[in-house]
Amino acid sequence: MTDQGNFPPPKLGEPYLLTPGPLTTAYEVKEAMLRDWGSWDADFRVMTDEMRMRLVAMLGEGGDDFTCVPMQGSGSYLVEAMLGSFVPRDGKVLVLANGAYGLRAAKTCDTIGRARHLLDMGDYMPPRGADVARILAADPAITHVLAIHCETSSGILNPVAEISAATYAAGRKLLIDSMSAFGAVPLEPGKIRFEAMVSSANKCIEGVPGFGFVLARRSELEAAKGRSHSLALDVHAQWEYMETTGQWRFTPPTHVVAAFIEALRMHEAEGGVAARGARYANNRDVMVAGMRGLGFETLLDETWLSPIIVTFFNPADPKFDFARFYELMKDKGFIIYPGKLTVVDSFRIGCIGRMDAAVMTRVVEAARDSLGELGVASATPPAAALEERAKLAQAKVRETA
């Protein structure tokens, strides 16, 4: 195999997007958009059908009770649609937050008028099953728990299995934002119980942005009739219309759907969720090992590191300037991502998209050269960053003791 393997560089000369979606897509995915489709035409209805079936199949064990409802908009539209459709107007949500997307879900509850209890773990500490059990025992009004599968703002893979166990042990229902994990990290309802999850076209399935989808238990969907606060974001109404007409209720992003079907076929050809997850994990391992070799440190240790995106502390060296580092990396063909931690400065590198370990090796070389151009001798982070990380290690000991 050549250095380029099965993942040649983007044909159009654009940089690699080391970001968690939009991300680098295959040329074939972009090419699938070079044709117009009538949204009511039988050909497009067949495409919608194929897409829904493929997504349900991706759930694996226990997926038979589930159906798929695609919906226009970015991922946040889907989170809002899920909360508004599955949580009754007099229900209450326990929102488990350890980053920006959890906090956004809490704000969504406030905006659409669903009561909520927020467990805010800060920048990256994981919400644990014991936390969920304690809060649910104290508040019988809570009907649903919302968990973020991979909290993309730090890259932490949250412990959804223990969260699910605690939720159902207390007789409540689990909803999952698996936006940045679905398609690469298994989420089988036969193993981890939940009622509904959402994801979008432009993350691990490697499509382009424009819509997302709900995978929900049919019984929950049936119960959702008339519940939504919104006309456009009503999951039950979209489902009912799609089941009876084969069409989307309002104009679908036809080109994006065509691209997504190509992406789904490529996902299957690669070997499905297991193979996609293995490629991303290998991307992460090669990239993290290389970056550590330059002196960089990750926020999270191996236990919590997702194969989706990794947070690195900025180096302590005062010659390091993220804005310049970003531009130098971009000049070399790689777009990285600023950090979102509130306590210490950081940046992120995504592992998802149409790229493999050979690309990640070049990312590390580009980082090494960029540091050299900045005059930074070592990428070692400041002591404050390492103290921050020690807190996480201690929390883990406390929780598992």
Ligand X SMILES: *Cc1c(COP(=O)(O)O)cnc(C)c1O
Question: In the beta sheet, which residues pair with residue 119?
Answer: 96
Report, in Å, the least distance between residue 310 CB and ligand X: 14
Q: Which residue has the tokens 């459709």?
A: 85
Report, in Å, the least distance between residue 104 CB and ligand X: 7
- Nearest Cα to 173, choosing from 107, 79, 69, 87? 87
Report, in Å, the least distance between residue 277 CB and ligand X: 16
Would you give the DSSP letter of residue 126? Answer: P
Is 52 known as a binding-site position? no
Q: Which residue has the tokens 């008339």?
A: 226
157 vs 367, beta carbon nearer ligand X: 157
238 vs 306, beta carbon nearer ligand X: 306
Burial class (CB in 10 A: 0-12, 13-18, 19+), 342: exposed
Instruction: Name the residue number minimizing CB distance to ligand X.
Output: 75
- And the tokens for 26? 């295959």
- Nearest Cα to 156, choosing from 183, 120, 176, 127? 127
Please name the residues in contact with 53: beta carbons below 8 A apart, sequence gap of 6 or more: 68
Report, in Å, the least distance between residue 30 CB and ligand X: 19
306 vs 370, beta carbon nearer ligand X: 306
Residues 140, 126: Cα–Cα separation, whole Å: 23
Query: In sequence order, which ranges of 139-231 are alpha helices (DSSP H)?
Result: 160-169, 218-223
Report, in Å, the least distance between residue 23 CB and ligand X: 11
Note whether 157 and 305 are within 8 A (CB): yes
21 vs 63, beta carbon nearer ligand X: 21
311 vs 370, beta carbon nearer ligand X: 311
Instruction: List residues near ligand X by CB under 6 A.
Output: 20-21, 74-76, 79, 101, 148, 152, 177, 179-180, 200
Please name the residues in contact with 38: beta carbons below 8 A apart, sequence gap of 6 or more: 44
Q: Which residues are annotated as a binding site for substrate?
A: 348
